[in-house]
Amino acid sequence: MRNVLIIVPCGKSKIWDKQPHRGPMAASDAYTGAPFKLNRRYAECFGDAWIVLSAKFGFVKPEFVISGPYEVTFKNVRTHPITTECLQQQVGDLGLNRYALVVGLGGADYRKAICDAFVVSPVHLAFPFAGLKIGKMMQATKEAIEEGNPSFDREGPGG
């Protein structure tokens, strides 16, 4: 494994759903859904670094502090998700374009956002679980962790 960044989608479930009085939280702890937790494990196993992709904040480091609950999604433009231009700016500002391989996890909306964000960057994109429904995606991610095989060579659509 050399110079690999893994992008983990944030997810709908957040700590404030069950603990509404909790204050600001690091992104790594704010998202509590099973897909996020599994994707985080994958990223920690196979990436040299990982980052969260939030429809509200864009690319955020795991230690980025989220002040409280929000409901923004790439699936609904009326929720005002972050723009492609902002994501492209973040790629440069955060140095995400310095990685040789960028692995995107998550569904089609996240894949599109990642592809659009890196369109002018000289990185290789891989989406090892692209095209799988959520249950199958989680199963494949879990198997990759258990087998110690990140499946980076399985690019899927958009890779």
pLDDT for 26: 97
**Domain for residue 154, yes or no?**
no
Q: Is residue 153 part of a domain?
A: no
Q: Look up the CATH number of the domain holding residue 18.
A: 3.40.50
Enclosing domain of residue 142: 4-147
Note whether residue 66 is domain-resident. Answer: yes
Series of mean pLDDT values for 10-residue runs along the chain (159 residues): 89 95 96 96 97 98 96 94 97 96 95 96 94 94 95 56
Half-sphere exposure of 82 (CA within 13 A, CB side): 22
Residue 6 CA to residue 44 CA, distance in Å, equals 9
> Per the domain annotation, does 157 fall within a domain?
no
Q: In the chain, what are the helix, strand and coil shares in percent, each to the nearest 5? A: 40, 20, 45
Q: How many domains does the chain have?
A: 1
pTM of the model: 0.93
135 within some domain = yes
- 32 CB burial (10 A radius; 0-12, 13-18, 19+): middle
14 within a domain of the structure (yes/no): yes
Cα 65 from chain centroid (whole Å): 16
